[in-house]
Structure 1
């Protein structure tokens, strides 16, 4: 059995997207854990997901966003990858640092126009990567009970990135798999809090890695460099919105 875990804040989106598409799933046993973030005083995504994950009984815990639309074989396909691979965390969109460049991989589509989330959508998986998109994350239950999401900052950003860094440091694989689904969000989730969160994460991991790989680029952990980059990106975000 797998556990479907969603911390949500919009009943309409949850019902129309995730819950409705769960009805289509075939040949898979699952439980659902839905936590309304409006009813709890969570300070971060990490806190919320740890709370929800502790309620799970499944062999694999699937943390996903409320605006995910699954096709009829999505869960069974993910479960097959789970059973046939050893890993610390798995996702459907990810990126790795490759010869000085960040290369992303994903078969999913996003936004109302269903655009490909990555140009590298026709890949054979699973592939080992450095980071994963948080729209859908899979963690084996035994791994989750040993390693929780770290509440390093009051933010709803980068919890997946932090978990990937944690897995890398304990020699657990980070995998991206070629599974199709529709993430109705455009993926444009940046805000000013993101830059404060990445600085906090850089401080947390400065002695373990020189660069933090994200789907929004690479971020140095050197104190001077990360402060300069975040200062520039905050100005750019205020001016251009990106």
Structure 2
């Protein structure tokens, strides 16, 4: 029997810390088996991008693979066959964009789905574990997977000077063209604690909803439900900024 030909994975990593890149991501990639991949490093210190979208599009345009994996520098693939498993999901499921963590609206509540761990010591990153890919409303940015043929016509949108919400934006793009947004089962380790919230997030959410105000009445993210009504959104963002100043959340 002829062995199947492995699909090519392009891993694109925007890095500002070569110590983390080498000791976490590259170290775990060196152990991966039964997978064909290339690694594209985009040095954010060198190029001085104003947004994640700019940096990721720059890296994505260099990719030669069938599937583009936009990955954080502090992701550790714990299992030696983790990339091979993810490549298998890519081949066997139709999707516009996928991740390893995501959220979905279930009866008005934001429910998170993932098998990954984050922080040191490790903790589960989501409230619901999964055994098969599930469809969600938004995905976490620690790992974003896009088929090359999708990325060739749908790149990341530059909504403003921000490193937030590019995964949510891409998911919203895909939902508008009825292309599935999936979370794949994976027990990788996001070594950071995942606490990326800062004041710029609340500016970014307003830019994002201005873009989609005619398409969605609300959007769902890891940090809550956000209305597209500009007045309601402005008041919610002001409240959340004040809460962030006081409580840091």
Structure 1 length-normalised TM: 0.98
Query: In the aligned structure 2, how far is the partner of 1:24 from the partner of 1:113?
Result: 22
Displacement after TM superposition at 1:41 (Å):
2.2
Query: In the aligned structure 1, how far is the partner of 2:145 from the partner of 2:177?
Result: 17
Match among 184, 198, 217 for residue 177 of structure 1 = 184
2:89 is matched with which residue? 81
Gaps of 5+ in 1: none
Paired residue secondary structure (1:146) = coil
Equivalent pairs counted in the alignment come to 241
1:107 is matched with which residue? 115
Query: In the aligned structure 2, how far is the partner of 1:185 from the partner of 1:219?
Result: 25
Displacement after TM superposition at 1:216 (Å):
1.1
Paired residue secondary structure (1:61) = strand
Structure 2 length-normalised TM: 0.96
Query: In the aligned structure 1, how far is the partner of 2:185 from the partner of 2:9?
Result: 19
Query: In the aligned structure 2, how far is the partner of 1:222 from the partner of 1:17?
Result: 42
Q: Deviations over 1:37-80 (max 9, x none)?
A: 00002110000000000000000000010000002111001000
1:216 is matched with which residue? 223
Paired residue secondary structure (1:172) = coil
Query: In the aligned structure 2, how far is the partner of 1:159 from the partner of 1:92?
Result: 15
Query: In the aligned structure 1, how far is the partner of 2:60 from the partner of 2:36?
Result: 17
Query: In the aligned structure 2, how far is the partner of 1:35 from the partner of 1:148?
Result: 16
Q: Deviations over 1:205-228 (max 9, x none)?
A: 010001111111111111011101
1:117 is matched with which residue? 125
Query: In the aligned structure 2, how far is the partner of 1:213 from the partner of 1:162?
Result: 11
Paired residue secondary structure (1:39) = helix
Match among 177, 201, 212 for residue 205 of structure 1 = 212
Query: In the aligned structure 2, how far is the partner of 1:95 from the partner of 1:125?
Result: 15
Gaps of 5+ in 2: 1-7
1:31 is matched with which residue? 38
2:141 is matched with which residue? 134
Q: Please state if 1:233 is matched with 2:223.
A: no
Match among 149, 152, 156 for residue 145 of structure 1 = 152
- Cα RMSD (Å) of the superposition? 0.6
Q: Deviations over 1:145-200 (max 9, x none)?
A: 00000001110000000000000001100000111100011011000000000011
Q: Please state if 1:9 is matched with 2:16.
A: yes
2:193 is matched with which residue? 186
Query: In the aligned structure 1, how far is the partner of 2:204 from the partner of 2:244?
Result: 15
Query: In the aligned structure 2, how far is the partner of 1:66 from the partner of 1:49?
Result: 13
Displacement after TM superposition at 1:125 (Å):
1.6
2:3 is matched with which residue? none
Query: In the aligned structure 2, how far is the partner of 1:22 from the partner of 1:164?
Result: 26
Query: In the aligned structure 2, how far is the partner of 1:90 from the partner of 1:3?
Result: 14
